[in-house]
Chain A
């Protein structure tokens, strides 16, 4: 084994994460190489110092109490809130223990943050996670069944009109090549018991399905970010449509995608005829 390679394995060795064979090799090398021995010792000293310093924090008592209170409240409110129907997940900051409300305003665009307690929230969340499941299922299906595209084109002026006769809304099909998302096609989906448009992009070999359907239903209650079975979801509402992107790509890429999507003015998303 070469020193560079050994260097790479020193951390895993000290972390107890190196497999038996490599451990033997690394140790054999360490026995004969003072240079690597030194590296090993340095790392060991650092790690044990960090541990000895006990750098972890304790959750403040006040925080524990607030959390416990919020849970209690959810339990207390559960029986009677079933009466309320599906509406107003109104930002009920009041439901939160009264501390630093201003900071919650910061989170206001974030639907989940708000549905703090009560059965209504629970119902919506369960429904939402069903929808998240549905979205992931659609994504997986599109990859498995070799049914990724109904229309294969890297040109949005082909993809967008293709949807025209098939849907009663016009999904955005922005050109995101500047952001590194390559358009590869479109497909019809069936989500939430209604037709939806799937626009497919690819980046670094990852397939991204961007599903849109008319807003008004509950997809807007998807959290902005969700991970489900190894997939990332990102949902937002845009020009009267609920849009959700799903992929196995890094969630940050989906954030980039959303930003680029939103930056596309509705007019520019229309095909120039």
Chain B
């Protein structure tokens, strides 16, 4: 018995530990709070440890991110139920289409030059991503930051690929709008050279 646990610990160190940055990034964007994200990752890791045997032949990253996601939603639900925190407009499972309205106003935003010139600092962009409603936020983060394929996202969220695509498109559209608004509000938020945006 002790041996099984040893083996599991071994597998955990090989397969899961290298993914903790991924897990934390995802949790951090979902929860929008550093310590909650830590709790979520810790819980997800312990779950992953217990079930690491079931991982055989599967892709570890998607599997772990899925557990992180479950932990996040469980936490979120507790928060909603206990009403300890108001959770803004993050209504669960909202119809993506119901959120959309514009498109025509997007016309004037369709200038690549403006986006390039008015590039914004990392922290500001992080805040923008975190401002997205949860169902768009998670899709965007999985794609752009965790570098998941559409199929991986579909599998780990349980959404059809078509939904993944439409949520991603919608998330990007919202982000682009915020990006431009921010650029307009703070005209020299950045001097314009991409090189200066690297963060350590």
The interface residues of chain B lying within 8 Å CB-to-CB of A230 are 158
For A15, the chain B residues whose CB sits under 8 A away are: 143, 150
Q: Can you list 5 A-B pairs with a CB-CB distance of less than 8 A?
A: A55-B122, A74-B9, A78-B5, A106-B82, A125-B50
Do B41 and A59 touch (CB < 8 A)? yes
With contact pairs A11-B169, A54-B199 given, residues A107 and B78 touching in the complex (Cβ less than 8 Å):
yes
Minimal beta-carbon separation of B59 from chain A (angstroms): 15
Q: In the bound complex, do residue B39 and residue A103 qualify as a contact, i.e. CB atoms below 8 Å apart?
A: yes
**Residues of B within 8 A of A (CB-CB), count:** 74
Residues of A within 8 A of B50 (CB): 121-122, 125
In the docked arrangement, what's the CA distance between A225 and B119, Å?
A: 41
Contacting B at CB under 8 A, from A49-93, are 49-60, 62-64, 66-68, 70-72, 74-75, 78-79, 82
**Is B111 on the interface with A (CB-CB < 8 A)?**
yes
Q: Quick one: which of B9, B39, B92 has the most chain A CB within 10 A?
A: B39
Partner of A42, one of B47, B119, B176: B176
Residues on A with C-beta less than 8 A from B9 are 71-72, 74-75
Q: How far is the CB of A235 from chain B (nearest CB, A)?
A: 12
A12 touches B (CB below 8 Å):
yes
Contacts of A74 in B (CB 8 A): 5, 9, 49
Considering the chains assembled together, what is the distance between the CA atoms of A224 and B81 in angstroms? 14
Flag if B43 contacts A113 (CB, 8 Å): yes
Q: Does A2 contact B (CB under 8 A)?
A: no
How many residue pairs at the A-B interface have CB separations less than 8 Å?
Answer: 178
Closest 8 pairs between A and B when the two form their complex, measured CB to CB: A59-B24, A78-B5, A59-B20, A79-B2, A41-B112, A252-B93, A56-B25, A57-B25
Find chain B residues with CB under 8 A from A39 CB: 110
- State which residues 117-147 of A face B: CB under 8 Å: 117, 119, 121-122, 125, 129
A176 interface residue per 8 A CB criterion: no
Q: Are A53 and B125 in contact (CB under 8 A)?
A: yes
- Give B contacts to A, CB under 8 Å: 1-2, 4-6, 9, 12-13, 17, 20-25, 28, 34-39, 41-43, 45-47, 49-51, 54, 66, 70, 73-75, 77-79, 82, 84, 92-93, 109-112, 115-116, 119, 121-122, 125-126, 129, 143-146, 149-150, 158, 165, 168-169, 172, 175-176, 179, 194, 197-199
Give the residues in chain A near B175, CB-CB below 8 Å: 46
A38 at the interface (CB under 8 A from B): yes
Chain A residues within 8 Å of B6, by CB: 75, 78
* Chain B nearest CB, measured from A132 CB (Å): 11
* B129 pairs with A227, CB closer than 8 A: no
The answer to whether B5 touches A251, judged by C-beta atoms less than 8 angstroms apart, is: no
Determine which of B1, B12, B54 lies in contact with A78 in the assembled complex, contact meaning CB atoms within 8 Å.
Answer: B1
Asked if B79 and A106 sit within 8 Å, CB to CB, the answer is yes
Q: Which of B4, B12, B112 contacts A38 (CB 8 A)?
A: B112
Q: Which residue on chain B has the smallest CB distance to residue A259?
A: B81
Docked pose: A51 CA to B129 CA in angstroms: 13
**Residues of B contacting A44 in the complex (Cβ-Cβ under 8 angstroms):** 112
Find out whether the CB atom of B35 lies under 8 angstroms from the CB atom of A100.
yes
Asked if A50 and B125 make an inter-chain contact with CB atoms under 8 angstroms apart, the answer reads: yes
A24 located at the interface, meaning its Cβ lies under 8 Å from any Cβ of chain B in the complex: no
Known contacts A57-B24, A59-B23; is-contact A11 B122 (Cβ 8 Å): no
Indicate the member of A17, A67, A225 with the most B CB atoms within 10 Å.
Answer: A67
